[in-house]
Amino acid sequence: MSYLFTSESVSEGHPDKIADQISDALLDHFLAFDPESKVACETLVTTGQVVLAGEVKSTTYLDVQQIARDVINKIGYTNGEYQFSGDSCGVISLIHEQSKDINQGVDRESKEMQGAGDQGMMFGYATKETDNYMPLALDISHKILQALADLRRENKEIDYLRPDAKAQVTIEYSEDNLPQRIDTIVVSTQHDEFDTDDEKMLSRIKKDIVSILIPRVKAQLPPAIQKLFDDQITYHINPTGKFVIGGPHGDTGLTGRKIIVDTYGGKGAHGGGAFSGKDPSKVDRSAAYAARHAAKNLVAAGVAEELLVQVSYAIGVVEPTSIYVDTYGTSNVALNDGEIAIKVAELFDMRPFAIEKRLKLRNPIYLETAAYGHMGKEPVTVNKVFESPYSGRVEKQVELFTWEKLDRVEEVKAAFGL
């Protein structure tokens, strides 16, 4: 019997995502001027206010207020009518030094013996149902909101959009877990005040989303996925009605509240730890990236059609406490999942420092992860510039999304005899 599966995404202007982006912008600046910085930075945004809090150990000093304002303005909160603007909001910093009790378990004389920054379990997932090995419903949800943000910035075909938005996609699957069609698309987008009545306003927004946004998204997808868009899709566009009040004025935002959007949209699993604002000594972040890297290369090599990797740690301990693999019955090799897990441990060094080194995580690469998902994006090398009134100017060439590289496929094939 067929079944339905749903994933959602949120825009860069969603309050929680504003908080994530500010936290990761602060992290990037700390790492740009001091790569050994230890950072755990949280952000709260609400009407006209930003609160920065957390623990930092670093040799550099930053104008954290200005960094927060720059992020807010870049997202698009530049209008006083939004009741939240980068130029006018208050920014309160409550950041203090990292606990020595935590730091003693991480820093060691030998970097290779660096302990995990916390206990916990982290997951990586990959599936062959998309070209980027991501779950389809989440991938389309991200693309809807990225295209909506492009339309907002272009301000041509749709000229009333504001930064806050959410999208949700429901896909019908067959009994053998193959996508058959898109059943439902939900889009809620903040907008300017309209001169017309609410009914006419909603009618125009729905028409524009269905006739302008969705075709733009569909054009980005491969032909096999385009066929899933039929004329029977149910659309819920701004289903609550008028959506003028949004962003931090409509809803308080906090760092780390969109961890399922950040990862796999409810497919696979999640250990519960947030990513944004955390330096890579925090395995909540680095080990989740390493698990994704392993899962993606295993699936790309043909070990399984779908695969989950779990890795777990004890705070201050170098070696992971466990590595687990679930192939969901899709394995293509003559090994059970436990035997596959043993090979994963041999192929991928999951010690915290080894992960940092392998994936080049002590670089300022994190702001780009903080909206539209940490997984599934294209690895790319970019030049980034950071300026500080206290530390001057730094320009760095960095690799983004190193955990998305398919750089271990041949090694995996050799190990599994594929």
Concatenated DSSP letters for 211-235?
Answer: IIIHHHHHHTS-HHHHTT--TT-EE
- DSSP SS3 for 374: coil
Q: Is 377 annotated as a binding residue?
A: no
Give the HSE-up count for residue 342: Cα atoms under 13 Å, Cβ half-sphere.
Answer: 5
Which residues lie across from 398 on neighbouring strands?
382
Q: Is 278 annotated as a binding residue?
A: yes
Q: Give, as one character, the DSSP assignment of residue 160.
A: -
Q: Is 204 annotated as a binding residue?
A: no
Strands (E), 281-321: 306-313
Question: Exposure pattern of 276-296 as b/e (b: 16+ CB <10 Å)?
Answer: bbbbbbbbbbbbbbbbbbbbb
Q: Is 16 annotated as a binding residue?
A: yes
Q: Is 166 annotated as a binding residue?
A: yes
Q: Is 206 annotated as a binding residue?
A: no
Question: Exposure pattern of 235-269 as b/e (b: 16+ CB <10 Å)?
Answer: eebbeeeebbebbbbbeebbbbbbbebbbbbbbbb
Q: Is 176 annotated as a binding residue?
A: no
Q: Is 243 annotated as a binding residue?
A: yes
Q: Is 224 annotated as a binding residue?
A: no
Q: Is 251 annotated as a binding residue?
A: yes
- DSSP SS3 for 383: strand
Q: Which of these, 30, 36, 14, 16, lies nearest to 64 by C-alpha position?
A: 30
Q: What is the rounded distance in angstroms from the CA atom of residue 373 to the CA atom of residue 171?
A: 19
Q: Is 42 annotated as a binding residue?
A: yes
Q: Which two tokens stand for residue 23?
A: 């936290």
Q: Is 74 annotated as a binding residue?
A: no
The annotated binding site for Mg(2+) is made up of 16
- Please state the residue numbers annotated as binding site for ATP: 14, 164-166, 242-243, 251, 257-258, 274, 278
Binding site membership: which residues?
14, 16, 42, 55, 98, 164-166, 242-243, 251, 257-258, 274, 278, 282
Binding residues for L-methionine are 55, 98, 251, 282
- Binding residue positions for K(+): 42
